[in-house]
C-alpha cells in the first residue's frame, strides 16, 4: 500500500511538472472619472480591468499550445470562427525549424506597436489609436484601433534570426466576424518586424496591417513604428501609430494618428514611477471635413511589497483634452485609478 501511494504521488508530481502553466491574471480597480464640457457622464466604479485564466503547455518539444479566457469580457459567440469574444487566445504553434514556427487559431496579431504589445493589465493612459475613444466619447465608426484587432483568428508564421523576428499573418476580417449569414471571403494581412540591439537594451517595432472595409473597394490600413530603450533602471518608449479608412466610392479618408511616449524608473526597490504622454489627431473626410486633436498626460506609481510574487498596488492619474474642430468648449476627462494586480501560477 505504501509503495502504491508513493508511486501515485510521484506520478502526480511528474504530471504536474509537465502540465505547463495555468496563470491567473487579475487586476481590480477603483475608477473615478469626471468630464468637463463633454457629452459623457461622470462615473465611479469598482471593476475588473483584467480577469483571465491563461494555460500554456506542450504536446512535445516542437508542438506547443495556449488558451486564455477573459471572464471580464463579453461571451457573445462570433459566427466566423465559432468562438466567444471572451476567448483571447486559443492556438497551437508548430516549431518547424530553428528559424521558423507556424501558429494557427486565435492569437495576438502583433498590432499597435509597443503600446499594443503591453499587457492590458499594465496599461493606464491609452491612445485614441488603441481605444478609438476620447473625452467626448467614441471616435469615427469606420476607423479601427488596437482594442478591436489585437486578438484575431487565422494563421501566423514567425521567422526568428537571433534577436530579430518577422511575423507574417492572415486572419479573419473584423467587419464580418459576427455577420449572419456569414459572408467572410477576405482576410486581414499583416507583416511585423521586431528587433533587439545592444544586448536587448534597444528594441524596435515596425508593423503594417491591411483589411477590406464594409463595402467592396473600401480599405483599412494600419501602421506602427516604435522604439524602446530599456536598460534598468530606465525605460523610455516612443510609438507612432496610424489607422486609415478609405472609402472607395468617394476616395475620402478617415484617419486616426497617435504618438505615445512612456517613461518608467525602476531603480527603487519596491516603487516604480511612470509618466505617460499621448498626442492624437482624428481627421475625417467621409462625412464632412473635420479635424479633432487630443492631448493626454498620465502619472502612475506602482508599489510591489514582495520580490518573489508578481503582485502590486497602483495609483494613477490621467488627464485628456480634446480640441474640437467645430469650436466651442474643449471636452476634458480626468481619471483617478486605484487598484491591485496579481499574476500567479496555479500549478506551482
10-residue mean pLDDT profile of the chain (348 residues): values are 42 52 96 96 96 95 96 83 91 97 97 96 97 92 90 97 96 73 79 95 97 87 97 96 93 95 95 98 89 97 95 98 89 98 88
pLDDT score for 17: 45
Comparing CA positions, the residue from 213, 222, 224, 103 lying closest to residue 169 is 103
Pick the CATH number of 55-292 from 3.20.20.70, 2.40.160.10, 3.40.50.20, 2.60.40.10: 2.40.160.10
Chain centroid offset of residue 323 CA: 26
Three-class secondary structure assignment of 253-271: EEEEEEEEEEEEECCCCCE
pLDDT score for 181: 59
CB neighbours (10 Å) of residue 172? 19
Single pTM value for the model = 0.91
Contacts for 117 with CB less than 8 Å, ≥ 6 apart: 110, 205
pLDDT score for 13: 40
pLDDT score for 222: 97
Comparing CA positions, the residue from 312, 297, 306, 301 lying closest to residue 337 is 301
Strand, helix or coil at 339? strand
Chain centroid offset of residue 185 CA: 26
Amino acid at each position: 500500500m505504501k509503495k502504491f501511494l508513493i508511486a501515485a504521488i510521484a506520478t502526480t508530481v511528474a504530471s504536474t511538472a509537465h502540465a505547463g502553466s495555468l496563470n491567473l491574471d487579475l487586476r481590480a480597480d477603483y475608477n473615478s472619472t469626471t468630464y468637463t464640457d463633454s457629452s459623457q457622464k461622470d462615473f465611479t466604479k469598482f471593476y475588473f480591468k483584467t480577469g483571465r485564466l491563461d494555460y500554456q503547455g506542450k504536446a512535445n518539444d516542437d508542438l506547443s499550445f495556449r488558451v486564455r479566457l477573459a471572464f471580464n469580457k463579453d461571451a457573445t459567440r462570433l459566427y466566423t470562427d465559432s468562438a466567444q469574444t471572451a476567448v483571447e487566445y486559443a492556438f497551437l504553434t508548430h516549431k518547424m525549424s530553428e528559424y521558423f514556427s507556424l501558429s494557427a487559431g486565435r492569437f495576438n496579431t502583433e498590432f499597435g506597436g509597443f503600446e499594443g504589445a503591453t499587457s492590458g493589465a499594465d496599461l493606464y493612459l491609452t491612445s485614441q489609436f488603441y481605444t478609438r475613444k476620447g473625452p467626448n466619447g467614441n471616435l469615427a465608426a469606420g476607423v479601427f484601433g488596437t482594442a478591436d484587432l489585437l486578438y484575431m483568428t487565422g494563421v501566423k508564421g514567425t521567422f526568428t534570426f537571433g534577436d530579430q523576428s518577422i511575423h507574417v499573418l492572415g486572419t479573419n476580417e473584423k467587419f464580418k466576424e459576427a455577420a449572419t449569414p456569414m459572408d467572410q471571403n477576405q482576410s486581414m494581412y499583416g507583416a511585423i518586424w521586431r528587433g533587439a540591439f545592444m544586448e536587448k537594451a534597444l528594441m524596435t517595432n515596425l508593423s503594417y496591417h491591411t483589411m477590406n472595409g464594409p463595402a467592396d473597394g473600401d480599405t483599412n490600413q494600419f501602421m506602427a513604428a516604435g522604439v524602446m530603450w530599456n536598460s534598468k533602471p530606465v525605460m523610455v518608449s516612443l510609438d507612432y501609430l496610424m489607422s486609415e479608412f478609405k472609402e472607395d466610392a468617394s476616395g475620402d479618408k478617415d484617419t486616426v494618428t497617435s504618438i505615445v511616449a512612456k517613461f518608467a524608473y525602476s531603480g527603487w526597490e519596491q516603487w516604480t514611477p511612470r509618466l505617460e504622454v499621448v498626442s492624437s489627431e482624428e481627421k475625417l473626410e467621409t462625412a464632412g471635413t473635420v479635424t479633432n486633436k487630443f492631448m493626454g498626460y498620465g502619472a502612475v506609481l506602482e508599489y510591489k511589497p514582495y520580490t518573489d510574487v508578481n503582485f502590486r498596488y497602483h495609483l494613477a492619474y490621467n488627464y485628456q483634452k480634446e480640441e474640437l474642430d467645430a469650436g466651442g468648449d474643449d471636452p476634458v476627462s480626468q481619471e483617478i485609478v486605484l487598484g491591485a494586480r496579481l499574476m500567479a501560477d496555479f500549478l506551482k
